[in-house]
Amino acid sequence: MSIDRTGVGALGRIVGSITVAGERMPRVELSPAASDLLAMLWGEHGPLMFHQSGGCCDGSSPMCYPAGDFITSDADVLLGELDLGPADAGRTDVSGHPGASSEADVAGSPRIVPFWMSAEQFAYWRHTYLTVDVVKGRGSGFSVEAPEGVRFLIRSRLIEE
């Protein structure tokens, strides 16, 4: 995977939807490099999701899973939904992952990636805006980008209202 450092990926920066009750602005976005990587991973694994646990081992790296492989609960907050745009025309069936359906590969169907965070972690990060970026390096073996030699990384900044 080639990481685009110019700031202009094929998909560009993608800003998540507003999903936190009472919020007036989005909380999460994808860098152009993360957008491109996520689109490639969608093609391999089908529908995807992010989860940021704040646990001891993943630090500032959100985990990217095939949709449904990580079960969320009331202990998690949906920070946003990242829209990769419609599936490309001429796509073939995905890798056969049980969470991927052929419906996800129909040209023009939406590719929405939810970004979840543990409620406990959100309590600490409530005043931050998150950018999901991608850097070279070894990530978690459970996150789908790990075999690519890159990992997703959270870059945060304070929200100024």
Task: Determine phi and psi for 116, rounding to 5 degrees.
Answer: -105, 150
Overall average pLDDT of the 135-161 stretch: 89
Q: How sure is the predictor about 56, in pLDDT bands with cuts at 50, 70 and 90?
A: low
User: What is the reported pLDDT for 87?
Assistant: 83
Domain boundaries, the chain: 14-158
Residue 77 near residue 123, CB atoms below 8 Å: no
Q: How sure is the predictor about 106, in pLDDT bands with cuts at 50, 70 and 90?
A: confident
pLDDT in tens, 62-97: 999 999 999 999 999 999 999 999 987 544 444 444
For residue 105, pLDDT over 70 is answered with no
